[in-house]
Amino acid sequence: MVKCSIICGHRAVGVARKEKEMRQQYIEPDNSYYKPSRDPNEGQVMLVVIMTVLFVTLTAVLAVVYFKKNGSGDVVTGVDGSEVSSFISAATPTPTPAPPLETYQNPLLYPARNSVVIDKDAKVVAEADPAARGLVESVTIGGDDTEEYLRAEPIYFTDPINYGKMPGIFTFRGNNFRNCASFGNTEVKEGTVEQTWEFSDIGSKLASTQLFEWKGLRWTGQPLMVQWPDSMKSTMNLKDSAKSKEGLVEVIAAALDGKVYFMDLETGEFTRDPIDVGASVKGTPALDPRGYPLLYVGQTDDNAESGKFGMYIYSLVDGICLYSYEGTEDGAYRSGWHAFDSSPIVSAETDTLIWPCENGLIYTIKLNTVYSEGSSAITINPEVCAYKYIFNDNTASHMGVESSIALYGNYGYFVDNTQNLICLDINAMKMVWCRKLGDDSDITPVIDEEDGVPFVYVGCEVDNQGAVGEYNGAAYVYKFNGLTGEEVWQTSESCYTYNGQTSETDQSGGCFGNPIIGKRSIGNLVIFSYSMTNGLLSGNKLVAYDKTLGTLVWEYKMNIYSYSSPVDIYDSEGNAYIMIGDSIGQIHLIDASNGKRITYIQTARLFKTEGKTSTGVCFEASPVVWGNTAVIGTTSGSIFGIKIA
């Protein structure tokens, strides 16, 4: 369930700190030695020894030459019956060098670290067996049920460095692992953060309940970024200044006033006219990672004047809507609500869009795209496949997915509104495993591979643990084996929440921001953000855990709550930093090695005018970072450019 406003607080219940001590043992060399007494026949003995050594050495050399020439790596038996390794087997293997970094690849993900090979012999643990909960699942194609389904063109996602074919941040948290919302190195020399530009033309739109107005950018609301090649820029409806600008990075942000905005990363100025979706958009849209000029946008509320309620695909050549889909004919258990708050993923090799929906269905859409780079025409002819599921302990009207889906090979991971973390085989459209979480969760699972095994990290809100009113509960976070569903570790933080009479009056605490999977110097850490740790409307806490043990490494306490996802950034030497916005418009910059604050600033609306004010500035949307520039939207209707130095 999406919350409309939230407040943070201080942790009331402490979590025991566990520390792991690492010790290195050193063995001092023994400098004593044994010196035998002199033998009168020592000269003869030595001659025999020397001749024997020369013979054995010559034999070994000849064996090396022979087997080097013949390419054998087998073990060779010497003349004295002992084993003599060949040249090849004795040599230290030379590691295969990583392929060079392509200009379009994100250096933060280089080199590729993940094998992405699914062990088909991995056994799902009993606690994660979907059949034990009476799973019923089905697939529809074009609205018609099908008995058996097997994808004709198998989908298989690999290392996230391979996701995009242009420089860019294409979807929520960047890629199929959902582990990177920054592009390129961020050189932090001075330890300063500065607000540099403001885009303030975003309006508002009345909600379908007619009880309030949607405004600005809210959860998850992450902007996208892309650096188009010149051959594509010339065919697009970009403004002349944007077409001619060398190295232009275009920022794309969908807003609750029903429009998609386009701006220059450096200045915040319009790069093209907005696209008018006509309905509120709260989640994060997605760009096509193949470099195709396609934009995927999901509607968050049934408030379109056109009467449509679903998802849209736009051409970024001319801003025309090429396709829309509502999902009314797919037999969803939650048939009356077709919000697409999830940020989709595209399988480039199979031309397939993967998109969960709040009606409880997981859609895979074969796009049948026709496009060549530099062309001014792009066409699609979508074919829709929908996966439906329910358990015997679920209420049909509560089904729905607000989280985005993370993908490893052909396994997709998402959480739904009935507290389930699910692993779905995208090719067979069959559930592999399912775990019941301790509460509702809307955040997107994040994948991290260790020793060839994918692990999935996810956290919960405090939502269903008490009755109507204010109470304190536990926000659980987990690490699961992505192949078997086994719980590796679980811990929690105490957070506050308020359950109102309606969803519009809820103010929930817990995990709303997506976790950080540490890289480079903090590759041993996973970092979660907890909202309302001090009390209702008060406090936030970033907590770094050891990935292996789940033990606390450091924590950063904030007085103000945050729904915004923290972003990890890195300099060229691998030093790690975290940026996070809070609910009163503050930006925090933190040393990710120890959780110490480097600096923070108070942002402001109309900040270059006499009407400058920090009143009403609230960050719920998640930021993105490109080099040393961050972009983040506010609930008040502004988008800010932030310089990190």
**Same domain for 304 and 445?**
yes
- Measured CA to CA, the distance from residue 487 to residue 466 in angstroms comes to 25
Residue 244, classed as helix, strand or coil, is helix
**Same domain for 78 and 178?**
no
**Within a domain: 479:** no
Do the Cβ atoms of 594 and 554 come closer than 8 Å? Answer: yes
**Within a domain: 263:** yes
Question: What is the 8-class DSSP label of residue 232?
Answer: H
Which one, of 475, 449, 460, 476, lies nearest residue 547 by Cα?
449
**Within a domain: 134:** yes
**Within a domain: 250:** yes
Contacts of 212 (CB under 8 A, 6+ apart): 4, 504
The reply to whether omega before 111 is within 30° of 0 (cis) is yes
**Within a domain: 489:** no
**Same domain for 146 and 84?**
no
| The one-letter amino acid at 436 | K
**Same domain for 168 and 288?**
yes
Which one, of 151, 130, 8, 4, lies nearest residue 533 by Cα?
8
- Model pTM score: 0.86
- What is the number of other CB atoms lying within 10 angstroms of the CB of residue 247? 8
Contacts of 374 (CB under 8 A, 6+ apart): 231, 232, 234, 235
Question: CATH number for the domain including 216?
Answer: 2.130.10
**Within a domain: 511:** no
| The one-letter amino acid at 540 | N
**Same domain for 241 and 384?**
yes
Instruction: Tell me how far CA of residue 183 lies from CA of 269, 299, 302, 571, in angstroms.
Output: 21, 27, 34, 11
**Same domain for 181 and 323?**
yes
Which one, of 470, 433, 475, lies nearest residue 458 by Cα?
475
Do the Cβ atoms of 309 and 299 come closer than 8 Å? Answer: yes
- Measured CA to CA, the distance from residue 632 to residue 265 in angstroms comes to 11
Which one, of 542, 544, 579, lies nearest residue 557 by Cα?
542
Element (H, E) at 287: strand 286-287
Chain centroid, CA 462 distance in Å: 22
**Same domain for 65 and 202?**
no
Which one, of 420, 503, 428, 427, lies nearest residue 463 by Cα?
503
**Same domain for 76 and 137?**
no
Instruction: Tell me how far CA of residue 452 lies from CA of 191, 483, 487, 524, in angstroms.
Output: 37, 11, 17, 16
Do the Cβ atoms of 498 and 16 come closer than 8 Å? Answer: no
Which sign, positive or negative, has the C-alpha torsion 180, 172, 244, 372?
positive
- Measured CA to CA, the distance from residue 339 to residue 358 in angstroms comes to 5
**Same domain for 131 and 85?**
no
Could you give the count of Cα atoms lying within 13 Å of 501 in the half-sphere of its Cβ? 0
**Same domain for 589 and 442?**
yes
Tokens matching residue 398: 């509560």
**Same domain for 67 and 133?**
no
**Within a domain: 445:** yes
**Within a domain: 222:** yes
Domain that holds residue 65: 58-89
- Measured CA to CA, the distance from residue 423 to residue 362 in angstroms comes to 12
- Measured CA to CA, the distance from residue 385 to residue 408 in angstroms comes to 20
Instruction: Tell me how far CA of residue 445 lies from CA of 210, 415, 455, 578, in angstroms.
Output: 33, 7, 10, 19
Tally of domains within the chain? 2
**Same domain for 278 and 381?**
yes
Q: Give counts: helices (H), strands (E), the chain.
A: 4, 42
Task: Give pLDDT < 50 ranges for the chain.
Answer: 1-50, 53-54, 56, 59-90
| The one-letter amino acid at 174 | G
- Measured CA to CA, the distance from residue 71 to residue 137 in angstroms comes to 54
Provide φ and ψ at 583, rounded to 5°.
Answer: -80, 0
Could you give the count of Cα atoms lying within 13 Å of 277 in the half-sphere of its Cβ? 32
The reply to whether omega before 59 is within 30° of 0 (cis) is no
